[in-house]
Structure formats: structure tokens, C-alpha cells
Chain A
Amino acid sequence: MTPLLEMTAIDKAFSGVSALVQSRLEVRPGEVHALIGQNGAGKSTLIKILTGAYRRDGGSVIFDGAPVNFSSPRQSQDAGIATIYQELNLVPLRTVTENVMLGYEPRRWGGFIDWRRAHRRTREILDGFGVNVDVRAPLERCSTAIQQLVAIARAVSINARLVIMDEPTSSLDDREVDVLFGVIDRLRRNGVSVLYVSHFLDELFRISDRVTIMRDGRTVGCRPIAETSKLELIADMLGRDAEEIRSAGMTGFGGVHAASGERLLAVEGAATLNRLKDFSMDLRRGEIVGLGGLLGSGRTEAAKALFGVDRLTAGSITLKGARVSWMSPRQAISAGLGFLTEDRKSEGIIPDLSLRENLTLAMLPKISRRGRIRHDEERRLVERFIRELDIKAAHMDQPVRELSGGNQQKVLLARWLALEPELLILDEPTRGVDVGAKAEIQRIIRDHVEQDISVLLISSEFEELVEGADRIFLLHDGRTTSTLRNPGVTEDMLIGAVAHNANEASVQDGQ
């Protein structure tokens, strides 16, 4: 069978940094093809090259038997490739019909849109999906699942040969997922191919025919789903050996309870509107607690709930024995918390301000008297942290945007360490920094824990969790599923536990 889509030896670099290296992808007609990989593995880049949002540096794309080179989303759409992006590319204020038909709507004399036919056609497509909605209603009134289906309906209406879905189920509940899968099945029966990007492995086994695995910008495997297992896929994604993981996963979770300080923080059944469903954990003084889980498991959301960014809809947070409910990060900070965010650029640095100003941002109240900043003290403090953390910069008044990623991260770390918080939440503290800076940052964290700061460490790097944390809480789908205690936790055990979570979505607490 000739493939519908063949991408071979695709290269792409962004300002000198390779995002894709000789990656490939092949999709057959009428198959559901899954594409998986860790964050930053290059899935989105590959898709954007296919749809014409990015231009490739090298390699070839053959679609429907002919080499193609799309330079805009419109071109790929016209060629029969419809994409449903993670952030739905729909217009919520407009009607369902418009979102399905826009750009391809039926016309009548004089170029006017024939709304009657447009509505009817939209209703037909959605009825075919088993969905009954008012197609004249604004899309924003529909549930996320319906919006998802509307996006697919759009793909169907333009007679797409290939439908690309990027994390289509990440915000759907189980019943909605069933409906979606029903629709995908229907597409497959009609000979439409689906390229399905997801990090929920269970789904792949339910819906897809073959799976392509990516890691670090390369395609590391392509397997028929029937001939593989979750452990194999995880091993491929992480670049490990499947046998090791399997044996480690079966050894069970042992270990000795390490920390013994007073209980600083306890969270019971916390839920927010932001995908956190049932999160529980506790943390003792002087302890490093890790939060682990696959992408989308709710780790960052848990941190945001703790820090007063998202409000709790259920459950409770207890700090030093007193129940707290913060309305803003400001309150969390004054209660002794700090939060190093995952996204350095959009939630961390203020690019045009200097290193000094960024470093002292959170502690302005502490270094100012009646609103006036005490500059001597500020400079002393900044000097101290530049020295202690070995921040490399021309001088402290250099704009922080001119610093390297690792040094920016150190500045942000210093921002919180300078506050001398009781609990520091670190969300992916070493992401996007080079190996040297990474080791340094890990050392800094360890040093400060010895100085009586407790740390909640969120990381998608298993090594970091295993080596860094005293205990590790694992999350899956916004819920705490299990706990691992150090010493004794190995990386493979952790990977095994995560895989088991993905397998069963509920694994018992270790012994």
C-alpha cells in the first residue's frame, strides 16, 4: 500500500538549535497513526512543517503521491490536510456553522453565503458524529468536547484526506473521549487518515493502528500498536531498555522514611478548575518532596493551586497546622512560600529589567523602607547572590534578557532564595539550561535545603527526582496515585511506577 504521507529526513533548526534531525513520518491511507514523545521531542515542529506553518531546512514531504512544499496553512488545507491544534483554532464567539464552514461555505448568486445550506450541511456532519447541537449558537456555548468535534467537522467538511489532532483529549472527560473515538473510527472507515498526537498512552492502544515515537528531534521508532506494549513505548520515549523497566517495575516500592522534621504542609484532596482533580501530599520541614508523572498529569497545576494562582474548588491546604486559602501569590509569599515557575520567559523574567531588579523583585517589601528602596542593601544582597550562585553577567545592571538561559534561571532561583522562604516550589528548575548550569542549580538547591528550606520539586526528569527527592508523589490525570520513598528508589522503579500508573491509573502506595 502506498503511504498517503511520507516525510523523510526532515531537518529544522531554530536560530542554530536543532529541533528536528533527520526525522521521518509515514502515514498510510485510512489509518490512525499516533505520534508520541516527551516534551521537546519535536512532535509539534514536525506537524507545523507538514502544515506549512514552518518551513523545513531539509528533507522531503510527499503527500498523496506528489512532493509538496506548503508555505501556509491554507495551502495544506486546500491539499486536504486539516489540523486540529491543541489550542483549538476556532473562533469561539462565532456560530458552530461558521466555525465548520468558514472559508469553504456554500455560495449562491452574487457570492453571498447560502446560510441555509451551510447550516444544513453542518448539521448533517455533526449528526453523522452522533452530536446534536444548535448550529446557529455561538461556539463558546458548547462544551470543549463539542468544540473539539466541531474542529473535526471542519476537517470533514473540507474533505480532508489527513486529519491531524494535537492532544485532542487533554481536556475531555471519559464519556466525551468515547464520542471522539467514535468519530475517529468513522473517519478511518471512510478512508480518512488521522495523525494523532497524545501523551495518554492508554488512548493509543484503544484507537491507533501504528505509532511513531520521537525523542530529541529524531524519529526513534515506528511500530504497529498491536505488536508493542506501553512499557516498550515508554522505554523508547525515554531512551531506556524495556526489560530493565519491566523488572524494576515489578520489584515494588520499598524504602525507608527519611525526613523527620515537623509537618510543614499538608494537602488533602485539592481540586481546581485547572485540571487538578484530587491532589494530596504532605511535606516536612527540611524535606525535598518530588512531584512526578507524565506530561499533563497535573504537576504544574498542583503547584499553582499551592501558590494561590488557581483557587481550590475542593479540598484543603494546611500550612504549619493552620488551614490556609490564598487569594493571590502575594499572600502565599508572605506566608513563606516561593515558586520558581516552569516557563521562565512568560512567567519568570522581566526581560527589560536588569539582573539586579529581577533578582530582588519578590523581596521589594523587605528591602524598602516606606516605599523607598534601600539601594545599598539591594546591591549588597545582589552581589552576595551573584557570588554564591556564581551568576555570570557583565554587571548587575545588565538587562536580564542578555543573560544565558542557565544564568537567567539562577537569577530567578536567587529571587526566591533571597526571600528565605520556608517552602520553595521548583517547577522544572533545570529545564532548558546546559549540563553545567544544571549541576550547579541542583547543588544550590541541596545547599539551601540544608539551611532549612523545604522544597517541592517538580520535574519530568526521572533522574532529577530520584537523586533529589526524599519522597516522590506521583500524579496521574490530576490525582495523586502513589508515593515512593528514598533511599531505595531507582530511576527504573520510578519509570515503572509511572508506566503502571498509565497502565492502571491507580497503583497502591508502596507498602
Chain B
Amino acid sequence: MRAQGEAIRDMVGSLLRRAKGRGPFRHGGLVALVILLAFNALVTPNFLQLQTLFVNVSQVATIAIVALGMTLVIATAGIDLSVGAVMALAGATAPLIFMSAFGQAYPVTGLVLAFVVPLIVAAACGLFNGLIVSVLGVQPIVATLILFISGRGLAQLLTNGNLQTFSNPAFSYLGAGKILGLPFQGWLALALAGSIFWLVNRTAFGRCILAIGGNERAAMLAGMPIRSVKIGVYMICAVLSGIAGLIVVAINSASDAARNGNLMELDAIAAAVVGGALLQGGRAPVFGALVGAVIIQLVRYTLLANGVEDEVALIAKALIIVLAVYVQQARKE
């Protein structure tokens, strides 16, 4: 069985190696993206229209933003399952604030707080994850499982499980606004990607992230602050998830704690991995995560637009994840 597995891997590996040259999966991801775009341009009706772009950008932004955070966490050889729950929690908090008596009385302050408080809540969730991972030394999967379960419950408690609808144009700009004809959140995702890219490649913090994921023991012996960097990474991931949660709420002009960010952890992990992040850590392809998010979204769109049901898209997503990790594995060996 193993020999057969190796044979398959060698085959796939060499095919991909030939296809991608020096740059790792990032380029493989780009190739996949081009193929998807070409396929759609040929097959999908009305694909090459502004409306299509518009729909996809507004959909992909949340995945991309969360995938950025997930990429950082994965770069330290961690994983964060709680992103969807944090989205729900942040998303539930915002309307509570600007719809409260205080928020009605002071609309401007209320609006500012409606952005700030949810992100503080999200950061606190990240701190919690980071502390369990770095101080208690619990595996990240398990550590973030806690908030994965109870975070959404807390969000539902906050809202009594009700769908909170609201009408607040200023807040909704986050999800419905446009700059140069493209959704605001698309620009936001790009700006965040730029910042994260800068963080990874231009700061000591970013260097620490890569070093920890690349060889934690060597990083420790080189005097790096392992604990605080890990905590920081989980906090960044949580804040980014919080932003994504706010966007979803703003798009819908409603907060639904049960559905906001549901299964987002899967999309984010898939996007990060397809974008070239190594589960063993040590690599943070920031723009790869964007490409990965676009691919995940495009696959879903392609299937939907061609009359394939959403459920089959799930299977396609599963295959993409397995293939991406498999190829990584092949390259590592």
C-alpha cells in the first residue's frame, strides 16, 4: 500500500515540479486560477460581466480576510478552528451596540464603538487561544476547539438566538459600499493583505513567525520570544475574523449568530493551504492566501453557475484540500 502511495506521489510530485519551477505551490495555485478563469470564460454564461466580478469579490473578501489570519497561524505550525465562532461573536456584538439605547442616543460614538468593541472581543478570544497554546502547551487543534464550540453559543446567547435585522447605512457601508465600482470589502481585503505582507516580510515579528514555524527550537535558542509571538499571531487571526464577521453582518444588514461564519474555518484553511501555506509551518504566502480564497470561491461559483448543486461543491472542496496537502507532503519529502 505504501509503495503504491509513494509511486502515486512521485508521479504527481514530478508533474507539479515540472509545472511550477522554483516557486512552490503559489505558482501551482496561479495556474489553477488561470485554468478556472479560462474555463468559466468559455463555459459559464455571463461570466465576463461586471456583475459577476462584483458578486465574487463581495463573497471572496471574507474568506480572504480570515485566510490571511489563518496563514499566519499555520506559519507557526498552528491552526485556528475558532475563526467562524469569533466571526459570529463579533458580528453579534456590533448591532447590539448601535441598536442599544446608548447607540441610539449617540449615533456617532455608538457607530465607532460598534466597530471597536467587537474587535476587542475578538482580540480577547485570540488572547485566550494564544495563551492555551503557548503557555499550557496544548495542541492548537484542541485549544481552539474550545472557542469553536462555545464562541458561537455565546454569540447566540447575546442575541437570544434571534436574527437581528437593522437599518444603519453607515455600518452597512462595510458590506455594501463601493469604491471605484468595486465592493468596499474587496479593497479592505487587499489593504489588509498588504499590511500582513508588510508584517511578515518587513518586521521582526514576521521574521519570528517564520522562524518559529521553521524550527521552533532553533528560534528559541536564538533568543526569540516564542510565547508572545504565538499569542500575537492568534490575536491577529481573531481580529481579522472579527472584521470578517462585521462584514458579513453589514452585507446582510442582519446578524445571524447561527450562520455567520459557519464552516469558515474550513474555507480559510483550504484557502491558506491552496495558497501554499505548509501545515508544518515556516511559510506565510500572504498573497497566496488571496489566490487560494479566490480559487475556493471560484470553484463554488463555477459549479453553482453551471447548475451543479452547492453540495457537490463541498465534495470538490474536499478534493482540493486533500490534493493540496498531498502535494505539499510530496514536496516536503
State if A and B touch, Cβ cutoff 8 Å: yes
- Which A residues fall within an 8 A CB radius of B? 307, 309, 328-330, 332-334, 339, 341, 346-353, 357, 361-362, 364-365, 368, 371-373, 375, 415
- Any chain A CB within 8 A of the CB of B178? no
Say whether A364 contacts B204, CB under 8 Å: yes
Query: B211 touches which one: A309, A332, A350, A375 (CB < 8 A)?
Result: A350
- The interface residues of chain A lying within 8 Å CB-to-CB of B211 are 350, 353, 357, 361
Given contacts A341-B218, A347-B218, A347-B221, 18 further A-B contacts (CB under 8 A): A328-B220, A329-B221, A332-B223, A346-B217, A347-B215, A347-B217, A350-B214, A350-B215, A350-B219, A352-B210, A352-B282, A357-B211, A361-B222, A364-B204, A371-B203, A371-B205, A372-B204, A373-B203
Given A364-B204, A373-B207, A352 and B222 touching (CB < 8 A)?
Answer: no
**Residue from A329, A351, A364 in contact with B214 in the complex, judged by beta carbons closer than 8 Å:** A351
Which B residues lie within 8 Å of A347 (CB)?
215, 217-218, 221
Distance between Cα atoms of A347 and B216 in the complex (Å): 9
Asked if A333 contacts B204 (CB within 8 A), the reply is: no
- Assess A350 versus B202: contact at CB under 8 Å? Given A329-B220, A329-B222, A330-B225: no
Across-interface contacts of A341 in B (CB, < 8 A): 218, 221
Q: Is B208 an interface residue (CB 8 A)?
A: yes
- The contact size tier of chain B is 20 to 34
A350-B282 contact given A357-B210, A371-B205, A373-B207, CB 8 Å threshold: yes
- Measured in the bound complex, the distance between the Cα atoms of B224 and A364 in whole Å is 9
Beyond A352-B282, A353-B214, A368-B203, is A334–B223 a contact (Cβ under 8 Å)? yes
Contacts of B317 in A (CB 8 A): none
**Closest chain A CB from B29 CB (angstroms):** 18
Q: Restricting to B213-248, which residues have a CB under 8 Å from any CB of A?
A: 214-215, 217-225
B223 touches which one: A357, A362, A372, A375 (CB < 8 A)?
Answer: A362
* Contact indicator B204/A365 (Cβ below 8 Å): yes
Find out whether the CB atom of B224 lies under 8 angstroms from the CB atom of A361: yes
Is there an interface contact between A348 and B218, defined as CB atoms closer than 8 Å? yes
B281 to chain A, nearest CB (A): 9
A371 and B204 in contact, given A350-B210, A352-B282 (Cβ under 8 angstroms): yes
In the assembly, what is the distance between CA of A330 and CA of B226, in Å?
A: 10
How far apart are the CA atoms of A361 and B220 in the complex, in Å?
10
Chain B's nearest CB lies how many Å from the CB of A260?
31
Q: Whole-angstrom distance from the CB of B183 to the nearest CB of chain A?
A: 31
| A148, chain B: closest CB distance, angstroms | 27
Do B204 and A361 touch (CB < 8 A)? no
A307–B217 CA distance with the chains assembled, in angstroms: 14
Q: What separation, in Å, do the CA atoms of A364 and B203 have in the docked complex?
A: 9
- Contact A373/B204 with A350-B211, A415-B222 known, Cβ cut-off 8 Å: yes
Partner of B283, one of A349, A352, A372, A415: A352
**Least distance between B40 CB and chain A CB atoms (Å):** 34
Give the CA-CA distance A328 to B225 in the complex, in Å: 9
The distance from the CB of B249 to the nearest CB of chain A, in whole angstroms, is: 32
How far does the Cβ of B331 sit from chain A's closest Cβ, in whole Å? 11
**Nearest neighbor of A365 in chain B, beta-carbon distance:** B204
- Kindly provide the distance from the CB of B93 to the nearest chain A CB, expressed in whole angstroms: 29
Chain A residues lying within 8 Å of B207, measured Cβ to Cβ, are 357, 361, 364, 373
| Closest beta carbon of chain B to A13's beta carbon, Å | 20
Cα distance, A346 to B205, chains bound together (Å): 22
Quick one: closest B residue to A332, CB to CB? B223
| Contact of B204 with A351 in the complex, beta carbons under 8 Å | no
The 3 closest A-B pairs by CB, nearest first: A350-B214, A333-B223, A364-B204
Q: Which residue of A lies closest to B217 (CB)?
A: A347
Q: Which of B139-172 contact A (CB under 8 A)?
A: none
Within 8 A of A (CB), among B169-208: 202-205, 207-208
Known interface pairs A361-B222, A361-B224. Does A349 touch B215 (Cβ–Cβ under 8 Å)?
A: yes
* Chain B 11-41 interface 0/1 with A at a Cβ cutoff of 8 Å (1 = within): 0000000000000000000000000000000
Look across to chain A and name the residue whose beta carbon is closest to the beta carbon of B214.
A350
Contact yes or no, B204 A350, CB < 8 A: no
Q: List 27 A-B contacts (CB under 8 A).
A: A309-B221, A330-B225, A332-B223, A333-B223, A334-B223, A346-B217, A347-B217, A347-B218, A347-B221, A348-B218, A349-B218, A350-B218, A351-B215, A352-B210, A352-B214, A353-B211, A357-B207, A361-B218, A361-B219, A364-B207, A364-B208, A368-B204, A371-B205, A373-B202, A373-B203, A375-B202, A415-B222
CB neighbours (8 Å) of A309 from chain B are 221
A330: chain B residues within 8 A (beta carbon):
223-225
CA distance A371 to B214 in the complex (A): 20
- In the bound complex, CA of A329 to CA of B210 (Å): 19
- Give the docked Cα–Cα distance between A59 and B134 (Å): 50
Contact B210–A353 (Cβ < 8 Å): yes
Instruction: Determine the chain A residues whose CB is within 8 A of the CB of B220 once the complex forms.
Output: 328-329
> Residue among B203, B204, B207, B224 with the most chain A CB within 10 A?
B204
Nearest Cβ in chain B — how far from A137, in angstroms?
26
Q: Report the minimum CB–CB distance from A79 to chain B (whole Å).
A: 23
Q: How far is A341 from B223 in the complex, measured between Cα atoms in Å?
A: 13
Q: How far is the CA of A365 from the CA of B219 in the complex (A)?
A: 14
A351 CA to B220 CA in the complex, in Å? 15
| CB of A337, distance to nearest CB on chain B (Å) | 10
Write out the residue numbers on chain A whose beta carbons fall within 8 Å of the beta carbon of B221: 307, 309, 329, 339, 341, 347-348
Residues of B within 8 A of A372 (CB): 202-204
Q: How far is the CA of A430 from the CA of B150 in the complex (A)?
A: 54
Complex Cα distance, B215 from A348, in Å, reads: 8
Q: Closest CB of chain A to B143's CB: distance in Å?
A: 21
CA distance A28 to B45 in the complex (A): 81
Measured between beta carbons, the chain A residues less than 8 angstroms from B283 are: 352
B216, closest chain A residue (CB): A350
1/0 per residue B251-266: CB within 8 Å of A? 0000000000000000
B219 contact set on A, CB distance < 8 A: 350, 361
Shortest Cβ gap from A505 to chain B (Å): 31
Shortest beta-carbon distance, A161 to chain B, in Å? 30
B135 CB to nearest chain A CB (Å): 14
Expressed in whole angstroms, the Cα–Cα distance for A352 and B217 within the complex equals 14
Query: Please, which residues of chain A bring their CB within 8 A of the CB of B214?
Result: 350-353
Q: Please, which residues of chain B bring their CB within 8 A of the CB of A307?
A: 221
For residue B217, which residues in chain A have a CB less than 8 angstroms away from its CB?
A: 346-347
Q: Closest CB-CB distance, B328 to chain A, in whole Å?
A: 12
Bound-complex Cα distance A362 to B205 (A): 13
* Residue of A whose beta carbon sits closest to that of B227: A328
Instruction: Provide the bound-state CA to CA distance between A309 and B282, in Å.
Output: 23
Q: Give the docked Cα–Cα distance between A415 and B210 (Å).
A: 17
Distance in angstroms from B289 CB to nearest chain A CB is: 17
Contacts of A352 in B (CB 8 A): 210, 214, 282-283
